[in-house]
Amino acid sequence: MNFDIRGKKAIVTGGARGIGKSIAEGFAKAGADVAIVDIDIDEAKKTAEKIKQAGVKVIAIKTDVTKPDQVSAMVREVVEEFGRIDICFNNAGICINEKAEEMSYESWCRVIDVNLTAVFLVAQAVGRVMIKQGGGSIINTASMSAHIVNIPQPQCAYNASKAGVIQLTKSLAVEWMPYNVRVNCISPGYISTAMTLSAPDEWKKTWLDLSVARRMGKPEELLGAVIYLASDASSFTTGADIIIDGAFTCV
């Protein structure tokens, strides 16, 4: 099995911090050139500078992934810099916790736009490049929230958006299989990032009480699955969703 991604060219959206940052670092240490794509360009540049220490080429690109023109421009810039795109970790996402009966239309649209529509926009733009070049791997970030309803936080828009990511992943996988473009997703459980750690203490207590592992995962604990999906080791894996949640959704 060939898990080697040395020399491959990768995009990581939402790559400035959290899960995206961890995966970008992992790609770089494994020998891939990486484009850090984020709306927070200052933080993206900091991450890029750190990752360059691995001895690979790293660029930072400011992009609002909900804007088709910005996504297209970003993909063009990556191709100009790297020559091709072998891997796309489609990871940018947000969560707005509002009760369903009180949620504003604006909040609903914002979550769906970032978590689902933007995943399509990036996959579409990258997919066009990969189809033309003869293949590639797109890895979308879904969530265990696509499989369960989290408690006690109210997050119907987030759950719906992530369920959509899984079905979008399957649909693209089927459409693009003839072009050797593989599309898969991962569904993380509660991972120790700034977003989860900033949650109210009573929420975190409930999560840990319900957790089989009795802890949150670490961002780097997602890397093995992502490297597998990014590499030729997963050449017959497409349309898959890998749940990485410490068995949270098993009970």
Catalytic residues: 143, 158, 162
> Which tokens hold the place of 228?
């597998």
- Cβ-contact 20, 14 below 8 angstroms: yes
